[in-house]
Structure 1
Amino acid sequence: MLERQALPPACDDLHSEYTRRQANHERALARWERVDRRVADARLIVFVAALALAFFVYRLGRPSAVWLAAPGAAFVALLLVHEPIRLRARRANRAIDFYKRGLARMEDRWAGGGVQGLNFLDLEHPYAADLDLFGPGSLFERLCTARTRAGEEALASWLLAPATPEVIAARHQAVDELRPRLDLREDLELLGADVRAGLDPVVLAEWGNAPRVFPDRSIHVATLTLSILGVSSVIGWLFFDTGLLPMFFMLAVEGTFAMWLAKRVKHVVAAVDERGHDLVLLSGLLERLEREPLETPLLLSLRKALETEGRPASKQIQRLARLIHLLDCRNNQFFAPFAAVMLWGTQLAMAIDAWRAESGPAIGRWLAAVGDFEALSALAAYAAENPGDPFPEIVVDQVCYEAEGLGHPLLPRLDCVVNDVTLGGEIHALVVSGSNMSGKSTLLRSIGVSTVMALAGSPVRAKRLRIAPLAVGATLRVQDSLQAGKSRFYAEITRVRQIVDVSRGPIPLLFLLDELFSGTNSHDRRIGAEAVLRGLLERGSIGLITTHDLALADVVAGLGPRTLNVHFEDHFEDGRMRFDYRMHPGVVQHSNALALMRAVGLDV
């Protein structure tokens, strides 16, 4: 009987909690929608009543605004309460979506419903495309729950490059602490819902680090002085009979001064309109992270990064939000004349520029901390939803990959057949033979994905994994390119050269070579494969090479005891190919190609 992954009891508990919370939010949404409809109906009734009252008063011949005071006040009150109700309804709807996605992940219905991260896919990367890290149904889509671009970028960077053992250990502690914090993950989802579209970490950091527009203190003093004199001249004209001439003179001076600074003011205002409003969206998310009780060193260091001179980032951004609000007041048609006299726009532009000089250099650090928080929260969500997936043991004193009960996290758990794989020690390479569709490539991907997850700090889909820090190189999705004028064989040997170069680096290589050199004849293929494999092994690499060409399995004889032949079996039954997807020792003894050709009706 085949061994398949079983669902642990803790997974059922979390599934029940997701279902319960989703139902609670659905009831809340229905309640707020009912209240919303009633408030909307009440507004309509009040409006109609006001019209009727106005008509009645007009017919009585006693028109007065006093009669409309009560319905007017009621209408304004209903307007004020309506928006908070809608906000609560939207929040409940977002929470429902959050738990729906969580249930979809736990029920293996997640593919196509998450963030695919295609913008992070580099086809020249040594393993990103080969291991399906990004795109529809990818590892990134399975893991990513981040609501900010900074969080997406942090998680993607962790998948694209291995961390050091010290960093991995710190992430394990942090993920373990965050694993039960479902309330925090829900709040991050709700508070970050409006942030993803607009917030660009690189652009915001560049804005924060840009040179000051108003570095000269004397300009600040001159602006404040002219503002006071301008206001004084208007007050003098209105209340002290100083005449129009002093007022016109001061307004002319202020106008000239404002025109002199207009270009710089416009620059500050345009920049804050583009960047500042995006940053303000982040303040609620920051405030939630700042008040979360944390214990592990990595999480504490991230929260420390959200402070500047002891002041929380959320408070500093709220100060910017107040400045932006005051700046926007100048657009009010009633306040605009007073704003002109007080040089309101100039003074607020200078205040915003001063805020940016003080707090701007920390923006990049804030966003990086938020990104790491969200990446850790994503791994914590995976750990909570997959309690049977353990943290790997990271080994630093030997080159090894030892997996027991290894499966692929992108396959449905109940359909996932697991295998044991050991590399390092006596065996450094496995030559995997087998027919088409027998499971060779899936094994390579399982090994590669587990390595990527392990070295990112995540739990892995295995009963146990013992692994050294490894650089990964793979050739599972090498494609030809019409635009670049590359055949598949040329693209493959180019990738193999890249992998060979990686093997010369400071981190031992884990190579995953699928159907190596299949684009050439068997003679050249065997010679080339044996030479490449020997060179990789001599440089301390470990890995696997797959083939359905039985002649290529003979390279083991020329490489000595460091390599071992294994295979996947199949058999033809009732007109269909049957596979057990289990790895067996030795070389496969037959091929299914002719049987498959006949099964589809080819006369062979």
Structure 2
Amino acid sequence: MKKNKLEELKENYKQIIEKNTKIKNNISTIRLILFVVFVGLLILACFKKGFVFIFPALSFISFVVVSWYHHRYLKVVDDTNFKVTILNEYLARFDDSYKRSSDRGQDLKGDLFLEADLDIYGIGGLFGYLSFAKTPYGRKFLSDSLKSNIISEADLVTRQEAIHELASRLDDTIAIEGMAIKFSQENDKKKISSLENAFNLLSNNINFNTNKLFINIIYILLFVSSIILSILKFLPVYFPVIVIFIGYILGKLLYKEADGLGSAMQQINTSFYGYNYLLNEIQNKKYDSKLLNEYQKDINNLNAKSIKSFKVLSGFLNSRNNIIFQVLFNGILLLDGILVYLFILWQNKYENDFKNAIVAIGHFEELMSLATIEIVKDGSRPEISSKFSFDEIKHPLIEENRCVANSFNFKGTNIITGSNMSGKTTFMRSIGVNYILFLSGAFVCAKHFEAPICKLFTSMKVVDDVNNNISTFYGEILRVKDICAYIKTKEPMIVLVDEIFKGTNTKDRITGATAFAKKLIEAGSYAIITTHDSELCQIEGVSNYYFLEHYVDDKIAFDYTIREGVSNTRNAIYLLKMAGIMD
């Protein structure tokens, strides 16, 4: 159903493009005719006596008006093409083709175990599936929201409302995301550094003593005096020229800050060109949710006056690259000092507005990306509850037509057994990934989902670390150690452990796993431990579940459905024979 809706919207956009392209092309033809008429009339007016200039003037005005309309329709076509691009990206989520071109976010990867365990980054990762963010802040905020951070119930509800509104207002969201692509293309084309880095560069270049401005005043008075005295012939005529060169050298020595400011402001001016697309698109929207209104307010605070004053100041600083401009204006006014002072005034008044607007755009991108699940998946808005249960949960990163849904009600610590490839690990990852979505404020891939806000721990993809002399088993111990340390805080927690202590022998594994499970039971944690050791199912206080396989025409098959109880089947020998390792 959701795919059909997106395809229908895409078709509507394509019709808009087709219609406006025809109008644009017709206007382009009229514009060309008017230009030819204008040139012809202008030639006649120049060479034919009695031919009045009013006719070429009218044709030129007509040309300008038609050109304005042409630009207007061209913008509609371009912006709608960006919308089609966004819709193609949404549709790519239905067949996994998004993996070829999505932002994998690996540069944002931290050192959390769950990032690897739950495939947050990398090819086919959750970040790449969700992300429509193009600005540095947008990518960073999205990454931060996928790190299982604990927030208050009120903040989580506020985020849920904002994300749901963005998903519900799909056309507006697509329009903003389209401008984000335009921003990205502008950045790639100009190969510019990020706006955030440029602002940091500005701050590093400011070390200005306003007392220096008195030197400016004294110098200007001396320069004016030298001109007057030269006119009165008390000084040689060339003396003011000497003063100009002295002023140029004095300005270079006194106001070295101006060199760094010029470079930094040029970066900001260039970077901000791309941000303008996003600013203009967001400013024109009206939202109901509290959070979106807060971010929009930060964007609207960046008014036209602050942008214009910045561009004027930036233009003067960039003009310093012209040696004639620099010699004349520094030599006459010590202009560098005045420009640095004017920048400090601008910085005190407007810089925070610039920064807040860029941060707010980043938050918009974060929340729009988190709306992806609601836009493309069948799911629900999760509820905050003291219970932890869900109905028909699915893994968000598996195509829906081949993903098996499962329902589950946590009863403290749970042991899951089952043969290889039966679905134990995927089930746990489904829980982990959806729980991260829950904490971010996004929809989850489940018919119903309720959970408490608490810390999530995982131990799944444990690997050895040769550089730090850590074996697979010791790597598991370090993870379990972190969990045991958190138990002491008496705070609620969710624990997902796959194939516990698989890096050691059976006897030690069972002994260690039993001790760990008892700690989880005592703490009242929500926990799942998968294992092939049925002995763990005998621990007092655990609930037992299992997955199984069946055989069709001597071929192994799985239904990937969780059941209550203990597994009594094995398939390792069958798989070894299937691989040709055993006869």
Please give the TM-score of this superposition, normalised by the length of structure 2.
0.82
Q: CA deviation at 1:327?
A: 2.8
> For the structure 1 residues 530 and 300, does the alpha-carbon distance in structure 2 shift closer, same or farther, using more than 3 Å as the test?
same
Question: Aligned partners of 1:564 and 1:322: how far apart in 2?
Answer: 70
Instruction: Identify the residue that residue 391 of structure 1 maps to in structure 2.
Output: 381
Q: Does residue 213 in structure 1 map to residue 197 in structure 2?
A: no
Equivalent residue for 2:536? 555
SS of corresponding position for 1:571? strand
Whether contact under 8 Å (1:115, 1:141) holds in the other structure is yes
Aligned to 1:60: none
Partner of 2:103: 115
Letter in 1 for 2:159: R
SS at match of 1:587: coil
Q: Residues 111 and 136 of structure 1 are in contact (CA less than 8 Å); yes or no, is this contact kept in structure 2?
A: yes
Q: TM-score, normalised by structure 1?
A: 0.80
Of residues 270-279 and 293-302 in structure 1, the stretch that sits farther from structure 2 once superposed is 270-279
**Are the aligned partners of 1:567 and 1:585 in contact in 2 as well (CA < 8 Å)?**
yes
> Post-superposition shift, 1:571?
1.8
Distance 1:332 1:237, change over 3 A: farther
2: CA distance between counterparts of 1:510 and 1:103?
A: 33
Is the 8 Å Cα contact of residues 183 and 277 (structure 2) preserved in structure 1? no
Q: What is the rounded CA distance, in whole Å, between the counterparts of 2:199 and 2:319 in structure 1?
A: 27
Partner of 2:339: 348
| Structure 1 residues 273-302: Cα deviation after superposition (integer angstroms, max 9, x where no partner) | 344532454244234323321222212222
Given the alignment of the two structures, is residue 137 of structure 1 paired with residue 124 of structure 2, yes or no? Answer: yes
1:371, CA displacement in angstroms? 1.8
Residues 236-290 of structure 1, C-alpha deviation per residue, up to 9 Å, x if partnerless?
A: 999x999733532441342243122242221222332344532454244234323
SS state at 1:481 partner? coil
In the alignment, structure 1 residue 492 sits paired with structure 2 residue 476 = yes
1:526 and 2:510 aligned: yes
Which residue in the other structure is 2:405 paired with? 418
Equivalence for 1:598: 577
In structure 2, the partner of 1:174 is 162
Hey, what's the Cα distance between the residues in 2 that align with 1:175 and 1:103? 19
Residue 359 of structure 1 aligns with which residue?
350
Kindly tell me the number of residue pairs found equivalent between the two proteins: 554
Residues 357-414 of structure 1, C-alpha deviation per residue, up to 9 Å, x if partnerless?
A: 333345543333222221112223432333x31110002xx3x320001111111112
- The answer to whether the aligner puts 1:565 opposite 2:555 as a matched pair is no
* Match of residue 125, structure 1, among 112, 123, 127: 112
Take 1:478 and 1:347, find their aligned partners in 2: how far apart are those partners?
A: 61
For structure 1, which segment, 332-341 or 480-489, has the greater mean C-alpha deviation from structure 2 after superposition? 332-341
Q: Is the 8 A contact 1:478 1:492 kept in 2?
A: yes
Determine the structure 2 residue equivalent to 1:467.
451
Secondary structure in 2 aligned to 1:282? helix
Partner of 2:394: 407
Look up the match of 2:179. Answer: 191
Cα distance, 1:135 vs. partner?
1.1
Mapping 1:476-487, distance limit 5 Å = 476-487=460-471
Give the Cα separation in 2 of the matches to 1:315 and 1:382. 39
Change (3 A) 1:496 1:458: same
Q: 1:205/1:342 Cα in 2 relative to 1: closer, same or farther (>3 Å)?
A: closer
Q: CA deviation at 1:335?
A: 5.7
Matches within 5 A, 1:32-43: none
For residues 255 and 487 of structure 1, the distance between their equivalents in structure 2, rounded to whole angstroms, comes to 67
AA aligned to 2:208 is F
One-letter amino acid of the counterpart of residue 467, structure 2 = Q
Counterpart of 2:393, as a letter, is L
CA distance in structure 1 between the aligned counterparts of 2:204 and 2:473, rounded to whole angstroms? 48
The CA deviation string for residues 39-70 of structure 1, in whole angstroms up to 9 with x for no partner, is 99x99x9xxx9xxx9xxxxxxxxxxxxxxxx9
> For the structure 1 residues 188 and 322, does the alpha-carbon distance in structure 2 shift closer, same or farther, using more than 3 Å as the test?
farther
Contact kept? 1:150, 1:368, Cα under 8 Å = yes
Q: 2:422·2:547 contact (CA, 8 Å) conserved in 1?
A: yes
Q: Which amino acid aligns with 2:558?
A: F
Is the contact made by 1:571 and 1:579 (CA closer than 8 Å) also made in structure 2?
yes
The more displaced of 149-158 and 18-27 is: 18-27
Three-state SS of the structure 2 residue aligned to 1:312 is coil
Cα displacement string for residues 336-368 of structure 1 (whole angstroms, at most 9, x for unaligned residues) = 665454555553343234322333345543333
Matched, 1:17 2:9: yes
Alpha carbons of structure 1 residues 577 and 510: separation in structure 2 relative to 1, 3 Å: same
Q: Against the structure 1 CA distance between its residues 603 and 294, is the aligned structure 2 distance closer, same or farther, given a 3 Å change threshold?
A: closer
Tell me if the contact between 1:207 and 1:275 (Cα under 8 Å) persists in the aligned partners: no
| Conserved 8 A contact 2:24-2:73 | yes
Q: In structure 2, how many angstroms separate the alpha carbons of the residues matched to 1:433 and 1:542?
A: 17
CA contact (8 A) 2:193 2:267 kept: no
Q: Retained in 1: the 8 A contact 2:490–2:523?
A: no
1:379 match: 370
Change (3 A) 1:260 1:434: same
Check the 8 A contact 2:182/2:277 in 1, yes or no. no
Partner of 1:97: 85
CA contact (8 A) 1:575 1:599 kept: no
> What SS does the aligned partner of 1:581 have?
coil
Q: What CA distance in whole angstroms lies between the structure 1 residues aligned with 2:316 and 2:535? A: 78
Alpha-carbon deviations, 1:458-490, whole Å to 9, x = none?
A: 000000001001211111111112222222111
Identity of counterpart residues, as a percentage?
24
CA contact (8 A) 1:162 1:452 kept: no
Which sections of structure 2, spanning at least 5 residues, go unmatched? Answer: 44-56
1:129 is paired with a residue of what secondary structure?
Answer: helix
Q: How does 1:303-322 map to 2 (within 5 A)?
A: 303-306=296-299, 311-312=301-302, 315-322=305-312
Instruction: Find 2:287's aligned residue among 294, 297, 300.
Output: 294
Q: For residue 356 of structure 1, what is the amino acid of its counterpart?
A: Q
In 1, are the aligned partners of 2:520 and 2:527 still within 8 Å (CA)? no
Map of 2:499 onto structure 1:
515
* Change in CA separation of 1:411 and 1:85 when aligned onto 2, cut-off 3 Å: same
Deviations 1:95-139 (A, max 9, x none): 4422211221245432232111112222x3131110111111111
Inter-partner Cα distance in structure 2 for 1:231 and 1:22? 66
Counterpart in the other structure of 1:457: 441
Tell me the distance in 1 between the aligned counterparts of 2:521 and 2:227. 87
Counterpart of 2:310 in 1: which secondary structure?
A: helix
Residue type of the alignment partner of 1:369: A
Query: In the alignment, what sits opposite 1:64?
Result: none
Higher deviation after alignment, 283-292 or 200-209 = 200-209
Partner of 1:4 in structure 2?
Answer: none
Q: 1:181 to 1:483 in 2, by over 3 A?
A: same
d(CA) in 2 for partners of 1:105, 1:22: 20
Name the CA distance, whole Å, in 1 between partners of 2:482 and 2:14: 48
| Structure-2 separation of matches of 1:190 and 1:241 | 68
User: CA shift at 1:542, angstroms?
Assistant: 0.9
The match for 1:430 is 414
Alignment partners' CA distance in 1, 2:564 and 2:241: 97
Q: State the alpha-carbon separation in 2 of the partners of residues 83 and 335 from structure 1.
A: 35
**CA distance change for structure 1 residues 265 and 517 in 2, over 3 Å: closer, same or farther?**
same
Q: What amino acid sits opposite 2:547 in the alignment?
A: F
Structure 1 stretch 27-36 or stretch 519-528: which is displaced more? 27-36
| Pairwise CA RMSD | 4.0
Distance 1:246 1:298 in 2: 64
Cα distance in 2, alignment partners of residues 35 and 236 from structure 1? 63
Among 254, 258, 265, the residue aligned to 1:265 = 258
